[in-house]
Chains A and B, each alone.
Chain A
């Protein structure tokens, strides 16, 4: 039973890496998990969700103000770029980088449109990570060890 779960888990992970949703940094996180910190990945990912939601809300508010404070927008995107990079959410990170050019140009319309893009990427990685973590929980509940992906091809 757990072998099947582990196989599904690996297949799922591989697909995520192939699609660029996650990158090697996520594996780094998984490697830090051990018996004394079994919930490490879960904790970091949860923090990422909370933090990202907060930032996305702030971005929305700031961009919808009469007079947009682009410094604030830039600071927020920088934060999101950093945290997504730290957990390996590659597409979110790349979306943040692309967003910054609209921000630099002080293009409100462009920013608002691109914010939607970032939100989409964020929701995608959120769903995928939640599914991945659920699979992990199932494996652990079945008494198995969560496999760590070494090869992303």
Chain B
């Protein structure tokens, strides 16, 4: 009961220029009990997030506090006219107030260099389109990174068990590794420090994975669990 109300509070911003894909992602997210806002462009997304050049009004728009427009995760299409998903990702990561919001990129094209570029820029996941329920179910750990102290409590027990299993099984699965490292941090540190270390931790583990020279084949299990890859 507590879990259900917690999940209903998570707000996902979905960005896609395709009307059909917006409808689809909205349904997928609602099915997973997230609150959803969809926009059709990167610039509208930034507008919604209250982004501006000077990065002022931090108190007003910070995702860390209870403010008007709290977004717990951004999921965006890569190929969009004008501002691409990658451009949007960059802008978000460059912003002091927005960079802690996890970003997921979706693309209909399986291009390893594209995937790597997005990850290097700080994307938390890369989904191949068409996105399915199995993919959306993978979002929870990323959303949990920005969860508040109150919502943390019911999740802690589950996460502990999951992450102990994962650390043994998934040495090669880099995204799981990132998640468990992040969650380690979350548990050992005070809430106020969480977000900074969470994101810097993320970057560190990603750099590590890049150094290990993740090949396209090895990236596959990471992104395509449960997905039928419809490659070109």
* A, B co-complexed: yes
Chain A's interface size range is: 20 to 34
Q: Is the CB of A83 within 8 A of B21?
A: yes
A87 at the interface (CB under 8 A from B): yes
Interface positions, chain A 21-53, Cβ under 8 Å from B, are 23-25, 28-29, 31-32, 34, 37, 40, 43-44, 47-48, 51
Q: Chain B's nearest CB lies how many Å from the CB of A47?
A: 5
Q: Are B23 and A24 in contact (CB under 8 A)?
A: no
Q: Which residues on B sit within 8 Å (CB–CB) of A47?
A: 19-20, 23
Q: Which residues of A have CB within 8 Å of B20?
A: 44, 47-48, 51, 82-83, 86-87
Contact at A82–B129, with CB atoms within 8 Å? yes
A83 closest partner in B (C-beta)? B20
CA distance A34 to B21 in the complex (A): 19
Counting chain B residues whose Cβ lies within 8 A of the other chain, the interface size class is: 20 to 34
Contact residues in B for A97 (Cβ distance below 8 Å): 232
Q: Does B1 contact A (CB under 8 A)?
A: no
Chain A residues within CB distance 8 Å of chain B: 23-25, 28-29, 31-32, 34, 37, 40, 43-44, 47-48, 51, 75, 78-79, 81-83, 85-88, 93, 97
Chosen A-B contacts, 23 in total, with CB atoms closer than 8 Å, are A23-B230, A25-B132, A28-B132, A28-B133, A31-B133, A32-B27, A34-B31, A37-B27, A40-B27, A43-B23, A44-B20, A75-B81, A78-B79, A79-B18, A82-B18, A82-B108, A83-B20, A83-B21, A85-B108, A85-B129, A86-B24, A93-B230, A97-B232
